[in-house]
Structure 1
Amino acid sequence: MERLDAFMARAAGAYYARGEGIGRDFTTAPEMSQAFGECLGLWAAVTWQAMGAPERVVLAELGPGRGTLMADALRAVGEMVPAFASAAEVHLVETSPGLRAEQARRLGTHVAAWHDEAGSLPPGPALIFANEFFDALPIRQFVRRAEGWRERFVQDGAFVERDSDHAEEAPEGAIREICEPARSIAGGLAARLAAQGGALLMLDYGPEASGFGDSLQALRGNAAADPLADPGEADITAHVDFAALAEAGRKAGAAAHGPLPMGLFLQRLGLMARSAMLARSRPASAGTILASAQRLVAPEGMGRLFKALVLAHPALPTPAGFEI
């Protein structure tokens, strides 16, 4: 019997170690549209300029998948903001040997180093991407029963419950999810940014406000799967508690901007305009390019479910895309 977070960590670790799931089991925004990574790269360049254009800046990504986002970002800034491209020192936080190999193939000598955890990134001002990273971190689940709160464990592919000291007012049957690693990572990076400068941009799925509910899910073959069955064979995730991450950031001394719907954020960055340019230059693929971009911004697609949140040095101006 394992506590849910231990089970989820073991399952996710085994799954991502192979690095074969992207495209087969799920598709991320960078894989759908190159304009996504290009817009984020230019967002980082604008933020770097707002920081005073330091001579050296750590440009990092947490869970960079196949390296697509970073490759698109670097190409865009290399063409449009070469001074930022020269100042940026690329670091990737990745534990999967398979994905590291793919990232090395795509990014080559652009990568200064790989890291097993965010806490080992080198010191100095930093701009950090976290796209669909926090959703894969292990959660704990607590269920309110008539006799009090119980915590979920996993045994033989099913939930079992044990007594818990969790305490808060809630109706019977309510489920509270807590992702302790997410809060720890967000708080640690926020403290670093508050002391040394920079910003962390998080793009992931989940509600704007904390609430009750069971969001544990798994994908296999681009279809829903039982998250407790065949650990390591499916992508297991849960909704991100953006309010908790913002609170962790503020407690660590950073400013929090957002969350706001990802579709609105990307439209403000010019994703649709960039996609239209790409469509004109590639008429044979124009329909696919525009449909993919629309999926990223449309409320009925990823535009509303996914959110954008920034933790930044408190003296940094409001980041691009978050203006009221």
Structure 2
Amino acid sequence: MRDCLMHPEHGYYSTRDPLGAAGDFTTAPEISQMFGELAGLALAQAWMDQGAPAPFALAELGPGRGTLMADMLRATAGVPGFHAAARLHLVEASPPLRQAQRQALGDREVTWRDRLEDVPALPLFLIANEFFDALPIRQMQRDGPGWRERCVGLRGGALTFGLGGRMGVAALEHRLADTRDGDIVEFSPEGQEIAAALGARIAREGGAALIVDYGDWRAQGDTFQALRDHAPADPLAEPGKADLTAHVDFEALARAAAPALHSRLTPQGVWLERLGITARAQALAAGLSGAALESHVAAHRRLTHPAEMGTLFKVMALYAQGAAPPPGLDP
């Protein structure tokens, strides 16, 4: 997954802008400005609830085209002291996407970082939307008291899946209680490392992180998938030509992020409704008509309806001991 997505010459993200109608997939910020506006105001409220520390790091992991951060900054422009105290950091490895982010954010002062660890040690208010799903995973298939790893190999000149020998996996000891022979469990060592770094930073410096992605509290089953031209594709067919993702195991992230606290996992639609997306949608609709209004109504539905992104996508916050979770989320 890492080579297919991030190889400097052949990697999917290293060689293209994958978003939008001309790309392979569309994310919530690209669907409607309302997503970024509400997320930005939620983080700004969390900042105020923690005493409005100044300066602080306002950061995003995997910022896409910069649309989400641009919407967040526009929505929070009226929050007293927020922009003056914010130091903007975008954690992005893709050169084409960095260029798109620069265009989206205009003349705002931005620092790009290759890793979360490079963000200065300040109170951290961060968002990660559809970031963890693209991190490399390992797949383990239950075999008696142990596991066999699902690997990629060559057969007849073509890539194919196969199974390694039985082994113990310390990170999955707790999953022996809820799995049977043949069950597949996925986990992302890199995702857990980043969650651990986030949790340690927030516990030490203060702040909050919003994690928005598709997945559930506990992973089970084969969710590894490829997307090309907005349609499912064979993940092994053309390495570097399709987006590769897997569902996020939010429980694993929460466990790794201790001693930071985590909110209750909440469906994206519920979270957005709690933040007032319907009222915002109605206000925006007042100035629209015809095709623009139809598109706006469809965007609201796509973000919130259980049959669309509303239930598949979940939201979880990490936050400091003694603080409240960001708005829209329960402890």
TM-score, reference length from structure 2: 0.91
- 8 Å contact 1:142–1:166 — kept in the other structure? no
Report the count of equivalent residues.
313
Report the structure, 1 or 2, having the larger helix content. Answer: 1
Cα offset, 1:323, TM superposition:
3.7
The match for 1:260 among 247, 258, 266 is: 266
Q: CA offsets per residue over residues 206-247 of structure 1, 9 Å max, x none?
A: 012x14200000100000001122111001000000011111
- 8 Å contact 1:140–1:179 — kept in the other structure? yes
Report what 1:272 is aligned to.
278
Indicate the RMSD between aligned Cα atoms, in angstroms: 1.5
Cα offset, 1:308, TM superposition:
0.3
The aligned runs of 1:125-204 (5 Å cut-off) are 125-145=123-143, 149-155=147-153, 156-167=158-169, 168=173, 169=176, 170-204=179-213
Report what 1:17 is aligned to.
14
Report what 1:5 is aligned to.
none
Report what 1:236 is aligned to.
244
- 8 Å contact 2:219–2:248 — kept in the other structure? no
The aligned runs of 1:1-324 (5 Å cut-off) are 8-13=1-6, 14-23=11-20, 24-78=23-77, 80-145=78-143, 149-155=147-153, 156-167=158-169, 168=173, 169=176, 170-208=179-217, 210-250=218-258, 253-284=259-290, 285-323=292-330
2:314 alignment partner AA = K
Percent identity between the two aligned chains: 47
Cα offset, 1:147, TM superposition:
9.2
Q: Distance in 2 between matches of 1:19 and 1:42?
A: 31
- 8 Å contact 2:318–2:325 — kept in the other structure? no
- 8 Å contact 2:43–2:326 — kept in the other structure? no
1:70 alignment partner AA = M
Q: CA offsets per residue over residues 60-116 of structure 1, 9 Å max, x none?
A: 0000000000001111111x3142122211110000000000101111332431000
Which ranges in structure 1 are unaligned for 5 or more consecutive residues? Answer: 1-7
Change (3 A) 1:256 1:118: same
2:68 alignment partner AA = L
Change (3 A) 1:107 1:262: same
Change (3 A) 1:206 1:177: same
1:97 alignment partner AA = P
- 8 Å contact 1:276–1:290 — kept in the other structure? no
1:159 alignment partner AA = F
Cα offset, 1:160, TM superposition:
1.6
Q: Distance in 2 between matches of 1:152 and 1:36?
A: 36
Q: Distance in 2 between matches of 1:244 and 1:181?
A: 11
Cα offset, 1:146, TM superposition:
6.4
Q: Distance in 1 between matches of 2:322 and 2:87?
A: 23
Cα offset, 1:34, TM superposition:
0.3
- Compare 163-172 and 134-143 and name the one that shifted more: 163-172
2:188 alignment partner AA = C
SS in 1 for 2:12: helix
SS in 2 for 1:215: coil
- 8 Å contact 2:90–2:112 — kept in the other structure? yes
Change (3 A) 1:322 1:148: closer
Cα offset, 1:55, TM superposition:
2.3
Q: Distance in 2 between matches of 1:174 and 1:187?
A: 27
- 8 Å contact 2:123–2:205 — kept in the other structure? yes
Cα offset, 1:144, TM superposition:
2.4
- 8 Å contact 2:319–2:325 — kept in the other structure? no
Q: Distance in 1 between matches of 2:263 and 2:60?
A: 19
